[in-house]
Chain A
């Protein structure tokens, strides 16, 4: 990479993060034309879709014409499993990753040598935005393997010049030992896992706040400002939100800078749009909707207008940090996580808000959906914490009622609250599984039930 400052340290100002906007748009248009041509020539599904519209790559006159292109969805990746959307021959593909595929077939993503270089480049820029550089010790607790988190963060931190500890996920006691013994200054993992690390460290008598650790790069699941406050207060670190998805590249699509005012999108590689999740209509800057991304430089697997299912908005003004690339608002919810119960759209983040209002912190919780005689019920299981445990039945029932009331007020429907003993709700070492849907939703979907809707404010 060519951003070595004379002293040898990486200098973030040498990256396209600070490119004048007009120059960025020019670069994006040129790259968009290339990638659309590549997909058109090499991906039969994409070609067929353009043909149906009578659209040719050369019809792309300006950036706004991107809206004339068809969307790509997760279903497209599944339907063409495993290699149907590849745009490079086998001998140019140097890496494959795959999603866990909890609902049916996994999705597979491919990289050429240059794709991996781009991935590493954006991860270097991401770590730099978090203030990391040579001399930092990065513990990478994202899972190594088919999941993109592990290797993505690994190569980025290594290329930055930091010392990388490839801890991978799990084995929490060892994670804590490494943090303590190796002078770790930054950790990469999911935010829910780090909260578990804090819990476990306290049990082991290790004070994370007294360690050199100063930054956490947290991603791979939606999280909230209350979780950030919890992490920053207990851990005495700065928590950075990192955004990415395997379909686009993995982690490194966007990152917060030290101002924590949205996530900078590395838009010289990933072109962002916001659309209405129901109609697909393009929305204006600042409007909230679904994030759609186009990979501008991907070779092995170009994604044109990929529907991320993440709900956010775009911000164009230059950030206080000086970066000119656009930002997205933090993603608190995915239209995927959303569940519909009795016709009402519910996001786990709303449940968190209600729990926070009652208890002052967010306890460990799980949502269980059941259906009996055609009627759906929602049960929220909440672990009792020492702060709220009183020894009278009245105080505990009072807590139960206050939680139920807060949930009903926030969600607009009655939720059952079950108080659970500490550490009885399963901890995840990857993405937290908040919703257990036990309803048997195999009947034909009701035509009148919206499958996707914007969250209520």
Chain B
């Protein structure tokens, strides 16, 4: 059985979830407001921020995506999102 995840896992994950959620909201908004340049700029800035947050998280807890960059294969290892 994989060992229990530290509190840090949840706090770091929630930061990623927050940025990702803002990206999702802007994505849907831009689908109906394609000319809003400010919203588009904000979306690209948040995407950059997500990349920065992903790096330390994936180094500690494994890849979030199968094509994530790591020094070995961590993606298919438990726990899965519904288990944490």
The reply to whether chain A is a binding partner of chain B is no
Q: Which residues of A contact B (CB under 8 A)?
A: none
